[in-house]
Homo-oligomer: A and B are copies of this chain.
Amino acid sequence: MRGPEPAQTLAETVAARIREQVISGMLTPGSHLSELTLSEELQVSRNTLREVFRLLTKEGLLRYEANRGVFVSTPSMSTIIDIYRVRRFIECSAMAQAHPRHPGARNMRAAVETAHHCREARDWLGVGSADIAFHAAVVELADSPRLSSFYAQISLELRLVFGLLQDPEFLHGPFIDQNLTILTELENGRPAVATEMLEAYLLRAERFILGAYARIAER
């Protein structure tokens, strides 16, 4: 799914790398990123690293504190609530006005199939990625580059939450089949039904995530 991107600048390369480490949980929320330490570890200069930090801060993955440096963002309950509010907002509107034969629908189907393969292989991280890809495809139905890129950011933050919650089988397992049902309704020319199901899906997922979050937060 990801080809070797051509002439990237070093800062973007490093940004991609840190992004990976953050959403894979290697860098845990709240931890401090020392400019000196990280620059040595990644073999880049402090200045370049600071450019990277600015990038990732705008993406919402990192958080600045004046004279104290950058930290990995720590999603709170209100973060989760906001993310799902945005998701309902955008995904449902996109779905409601969708044409069944829109290219985005093809991507939705591809994502569903990937999710099933990954489930059979018990690759739960893959399932998570496929789930996110499915919903990104939903947003594509709106045909708006800006909306899609905004949604990509939201997805990043959501992955941060997922990393916090662990137990991806429990998180994603119940939702795979619902994506297929939603897609089927859309393909059969019933976008209104699909939209309704999507909203229900998102509300349920939000409660689900919030519950899991509360459970780990109260320790």
Binding site for B on A (CB under 8 A): 7, 9, 11, 47, 50-51, 54-55, 58-59, 64, 66, 82-83, 85-86, 89-90, 93-94, 142-147, 150, 154
A-B contact pairs, 23 of them (CB 8 A): A7-B66, A9-B64, A47-B47, A47-B50, A51-B51, A54-B54, A54-B55, A54-B58, A82-B144, A82-B145, A82-B146, A83-B146, A85-B142, A85-B143, A85-B144, A85-B147, A86-B144, A86-B147, A89-B93, A89-B142, A89-B144, A93-B93, A146-B154
Q: Closest CB-CB distance, A142 to chain B, in whole Å? A: 7
Identical copies of this chain, number: 2
Q: Knowing A7-B66, A66-B7, A93-B93, say if A146 contacts B55 (CB, 8 Å).
A: no
- Known pairs A54-B54, A150-B150 / 9 extra A-B pairs, C-beta < 8 Å: A9-B66, A51-B51, A54-B58, A82-B146, A83-B146, A85-B147, A86-B144, A86-B146, A93-B93
Instruction: Report B-chain residues with C-beta under 8 Å of the C-beta of A51.
Output: 50-51, 54
Q: Closest CB-CB distance, A205 to chain B, in whole Å? A: 17
Instruction: Report B-chain residues with C-beta under 8 Å of the C-beta of A150.
Output: 150
Instruction: Report B-chain residues with C-beta under 8 Å of the C-beta of A93.
Output: 89, 93
